[in-house]
Structure 1
Amino acid sequence: MKAIVCDKPFSLGIEDRPAPVRKAGEAMIRIRRVGLCGTDYHIFSGNQPFLAYPRIMGHELAGEVAEVDEGSSLHIGQLVTINPYLPCGVCVACRKEKPNCCVNIKVLGVHIDGGMTEFICVPADAVIPVEGLSPDQAAMVEFLSVGAHAVRRGQVSKADRALVVGAGPIGVGVALFCKFAGAEVSLIDTSAERLAYARDKVGLEHVQQVGEDLDAFLTERSNGEYFDVVFDATGNGKAIEKGFAYVAHGGRYVLVSVVKDTISFSDPEFHKREATLLGSRNATREDFEYVISKLRSGAIPSEMLQTHNFDLMETPTRIKELIANQGSVLKAIATF
């Protein structure tokens, strides 16, 4: 079978690999769509902290069930997505029903080979049916679930003013789910192009480019009190550090981004606010099911989220262009 392999930073190619052999308890999935995200771009660029090369990337997946155990609730030909966060089931996090931050987690496309390939075998309980969705929508479930999980971690409600820093796909997802929770949502980014798209196409009305007018915007949007909950989705260490200043007294700061940097902040400023600092990692099946319901209902403007589509075998020649033009790329989905 064909597979897209990143054998080292800035080296991505097509290889012939043996087809996987399914084990009992697993499902074999024929991959139909693969979404590309910041994690894949970081892997290609050598900036992903949890990865060893070579690696088959791809964790935003949609496909069809090709093989499964007899008696499974899944059936051949069924359209599915995959929860790529494979837990050990026995560690302290798993015992607390937090498999998304399992001590021994294996993430498809990061710790182990992912879905940029014709077939993949995964535990059957990681396979999630997506009846009523298109293959493209099914490939969006994972990245949207990361945003939904972050909003759940932040306990966002209609009483909150929420600020999302970073208007990439994760940030846009976070902002959408904040809206669904009833919060007043503001979105900021360094890219005017991304913000205009989020406002005009996705319906996120209150956006502002980082620059000399930012302080006035934040003051106006929060009556000078700043924000009950702030989310960082920038993937930038300096932006994460600056975000502490945007948190209101008694507020929460949710870090969705993963960076290699050591993050520092002013302890007196943090304490006088009695702020809460939260990490948000990955997503759970509960988040996946919630996102699927929102996609199925039409609440999520999925057609507006997808900005690029191409054949998966073009990925080695397309990825540099996608990285270089991230201001105009919200979600790229490759088709097998």
Structure 2
Amino acid sequence: MRAIVVKEPGSIALVDRPDPEQPPTGWVAVDISHVGICGTDYHIYEGKHPFLQYPRVIGHELSGVVAADAAGWNKGARVVINPYIACGECHACLRGKPNCCMRIGVLGVHRDGGLCERINIPAGNLIAADGLDQAEAATVEFLAIGAHAVRRSAMTSADRVLVVGAGPIGLGAALFARLRGAEVDLLDASADRLALISERFGFAATHVVADGAAALLAVTGGNGFDVVFDATGSAGAMQTSFGYVAHGGTLVLVGVTPADVTFNDAEFHKREMSLLGSRNATAEDFQTVVAALKSGAIDYRKLITHKTSLEGLPESIAAWAADRSQVIKAMVDVAP
């Protein structure tokens, strides 16, 4: 079968690989249809991912079709793949938190991913995608990360929300915060990206980092924001986000960095701030996204700005990685 492999930083190629073996009991063979390209994929290509061994088949935003009857799934069923393969036995799993499994294996990161023609997946990691377009289904995973962060925050429609970092993950958080009825502001370093997001999704309250914290806080009367989602993955930005949170507010760190993040303890306690980490997503969050797409609450066509094929991806990803200011979601059609 054909597969996309990052051999080493800066080296990506379409290769021929053996087809997967017959799936073991409880697993299902899935023919991949579409794959969304994530910031993680760019980081792997650029050599910036801290938890990766090369070579690696990338890709974890996956839609497909069940290849053969197995484990309660019928051949031909349309599915979304939850790429977080949990052990099912550790402390987190036993407490119903497989998204932060102590031995998690994320497709395309800890193990080979789905930028290929067929993959074997645990039956419990499949989500029915009946009624969704295959490209639409491939947007579910990244949106689920934002939906999970919003659910973790326990925010309400009475909260004023700030999303720091208007990439795909930040956009997902913003969309689901707005669906909960909140007033949502966006902050990003790129005015061009903010203009793109505003045009496509109608977020009117956008702010550029260069304008400074004082100008941002002024829109809240100096009070700060009730809930702040930081989706930057930048230690400096994450530290700065502490200063955007209102007294009694919550900061949710959605992005991840290998660097240390520090904050002033006195300021943290004065505000009685809640600090949360948000990792990956669960089946509940996937179902939340599927429902939002089916209802039309989110239009997936506005999410997809760039398209390519397996053959075209090695050239395309280099161009996208060089300038992502106009890329919301790039989508790969795996069909030959």
Give TM-score, length-normalised by structure 2. 0.97
Are 2:35 and 1:34 equivalent residues in the alignment?
yes
Alignment correspondent of 1:307: 305
CA deviations over 1:204-241 (Å, ceiling 9, x no partner):
22111112365324321x22110111011112111111
Secondary structure (helix, strand or coil) at the match of 1:329 reads coil
Q: Distance in 2 between matches of 1:9 and 1:217?
A: 37
Task: Extract structure 1 runs of 4+ deviating beyond 3 A.
Answer: none
Alignment correspondent of 2:135: 136
Q: How does 1:198-217 map to 2 (within 5 A)?
A: 198-212=197-211, 215-217=214-216
Aligned pair in 2 of structure 1 residues 177, 307: CA closer, same or farther (>3 Å)?
Answer: same
CA deviations over 1:230-264 (Å, ceiling 9, x no partner):
01111211111111100111111100001121111
Alignment correspondent of 2:46: 45
Alignment correspondent of 2:251: 253
- Contact between 1:25 and 1:124, CA under 8 Å: does it hold in 2? yes
- Contact between 1:176 and 1:204, CA under 8 Å: does it hold in 2? no
- Contact between 1:202 and 1:305, CA under 8 Å: does it hold in 2? no
Q: 1:328 aligns with which of 319, 326, 329?
A: 326
Q: Distance in 2 between matches of 1:211 and 1:53?
A: 37
Secondary structure (helix, strand or coil) at the match of 1:63 reads strand
Secondary structure (helix, strand or coil) at the match of 2:51 reads coil
- Contact between 2:81 and 2:125, CA under 8 Å: does it hold in 1? yes
Q: How does 1:1-336 map to 2 (within 5 A)?
A: 1-21=1-21, 22-69=23-70, 72-212=71-211, 215-220=214-219, 222-336=220-334
Q: Distance in 2 between matches of 1:143 and 1:103?
A: 21
Secondary structure (helix, strand or coil) at the match of 2:119 reads strand
CA deviations over 1:96-130 (Å, ceiling 9, x no partner):
10000000001000100000111000101111111
Report the alpha carbon displacement of residue 331 of structure 1 after superposing the two structures with TM.
Answer: 0.2
Counting aligned pairs with the same residue, the percent is: 50
Aligned pair in 2 of structure 1 residues 301, 205: CA closer, same or farther (>3 Å)?
Answer: farther
Q: Distance in 2 between matches of 1:132 and 1:302?
A: 13
Report the alpha carbon displacement of residue 301 of structure 1 after superposing the two structures with TM.
Answer: 2.0
Report the alpha carbon displacement of residue 183 of structure 1 after superposing the two structures with TM.
Answer: 1.2
Secondary structure (helix, strand or coil) at the match of 1:39 reads helix
Q: Distance in 1 between matches of 2:176 and 2:201?
A: 12
CA deviations over 1:142-197 (Å, ceiling 9, x no partner):
00000000001111111111100011111111001000111111001011111111
Secondary structure (helix, strand or coil) at the match of 1:313 reads coil
- Contact between 2:162 and 2:229, CA under 8 Å: does it hold in 1? yes
- Contact between 1:231 and 1:253, CA under 8 Å: does it hold in 2? yes
Secondary structure (helix, strand or coil) at the match of 2:267 reads helix
Q: Distance in 1 between matches of 2:64 and 2:311?
A: 16
Report the alpha carbon displacement of residue 322 of structure 1 after superposing the two structures with TM.
Answer: 0.6
Secondary structure (helix, strand or coil) at the match of 2:139 reads helix
Q: Distance in 1 between matches of 2:311 and 2:35?
A: 11
Q: Which runs of 5+ in 1 are unaligned?
A: none
- Contact between 2:14 and 2:310, CA under 8 Å: does it hold in 1? no
- Contact between 1:81 and 1:130, CA under 8 Å: does it hold in 2? yes
Q: Distance in 2 between matches of 1:312 and 1:171?
A: 27
Supply the AA of the counterpart residue of 2:172.
G
- Contact between 1:84 and 1:108, CA under 8 Å: does it hold in 2? yes
Supply the AA of the counterpart residue of 1:235.
G
Q: Distance in 1 between matches of 2:209 and 2:34?
A: 34
Q: Distance in 2 between matches of 1:84 and 1:45?
A: 21
Q: How many residue pairs get matched? A: 333
Q: Distance in 1 between matches of 2:256 and 2:213?
A: 24
